[in-house]
Amino acid sequence: MVNVVVTDKNFKEEVLDASVPVLVDFWAEWCSPCRIVGPIVEELSNEYAGKLKVGKLNVDENGQTAQNFGIMSIPSLLIFKNGQVVKTMIGAQSKDSFKREIDSVLGS
């Protein structure tokens, strides 16, 4: 299960101030590719438990944060480490593709 629902209000606390890397899935209810990626994000959350915090941010409900990070296309998955974006993945991709990107961040 996804660790946290990220909002404009809790973004700093849940993501920027997190002690572990954080994967944030920027999505919207009406977005078909987002519905494809959603279950993959859930699986990744379980597989990387304890190593990676995973959150979902609904761009329709939290537009300020999406705008702050220049989210123009969804789904966009950003990985934050020490409060900084270290990886950006845009669009529906395979689970293996996401895992490669996550592993590259966790390994560094």
Q: What is the pLDDT of residues 6-31, one digit of tens each?
A: 999 999 999 999 999 999 999 999 99
- Region class of 53: left (phi > 0), else alpha (psi between -120 and 50), else beta: beta
Q: What is the pLDDT of residues 35-79, one digit of tens each?
A: 999 999 999 999 999 999 999 999 999 999 999 999 999 999 999
- The architecture that CATH gives domain 4-106 is 3-Layer(aba) Sandwich (3.40)
The ranges assigned to domains in the chain are: 4-106
- 53 with 4: CB under 8 angstroms? yes
The pLDDT value recorded for residue 3 is 81
Question: Which residues participate in catalysis according to the annotation?
Answer: 31, 34
